[in-house]
Structure 1
């Protein structure tokens, strides 16, 4: 069964930096890892002038670009609702753990990545699904464990000990 752990926090808090450090660390423990990253509504992975872009502009609901090294599926909502995390998870091949970046409102176990210098409040007091806060320094009064953002080994140990991965 695939385990699921989320990473939430305000823009600029270091979520992507932490996730990109965690992926190889978890792989080193023998786990297979996939990720789902929530992006801004106007992101695009396709390029104007490319055949795949022309297919989408012409109205294709889905376009797969494939090579001997990888494939990418682009799905156009075309007015439909944004897919839920569950719908996106169903698109992934089986792995040991899926790391979810963003989706801070979804009811999944999450580690909040927090930096006081971003100038935003902690998400933790309002999110019962946050199981720990990763920050350079321990925020005062948090009721969940603090993980030193710079101690990758301790974060991996916490994830393993808590059966999150």
Structure 2
């Protein structure tokens, strides 16, 4: 004998728990996203003010600002699409390695195997971008609606995502 009222109550409880869980997860998601964006903006402003205080700006400093720019763009894209753009992570890594390479060469003025290793790492990351772009054009990500209708703009059509 099946108790319909118990099954109905169980289903209602399950829906309530799922809705409450989704609310808490999304709240944490947005709170963390705003915090990361704010910290990135604050770090960029502080780095810029340090450059102004120093009185001159080097290529290292400019590349550091590009790293902050890419991190801010990642936060913005993640906020709009709910997907992490893998390509931007690789751009940040390439910029960081380029900054390291320029800093090492400008301060030490001697060629060694470290320059070759860092250059090889940059080449591997550039090849990774090529693979990610090829894969995303060949095998586009499937958009799933999670209760909200989100449409991809033409700008986002080629954006790689990590689900």
TM range, smaller chain: under 0.3
TM-score in terms of structure 2 length: 0.22
Which protein is bigger by CA-based radius of gyration? 2
Q: Which structure has the highest helix share of the two?
A: 2
- Structure with greater proportional strand content: 1
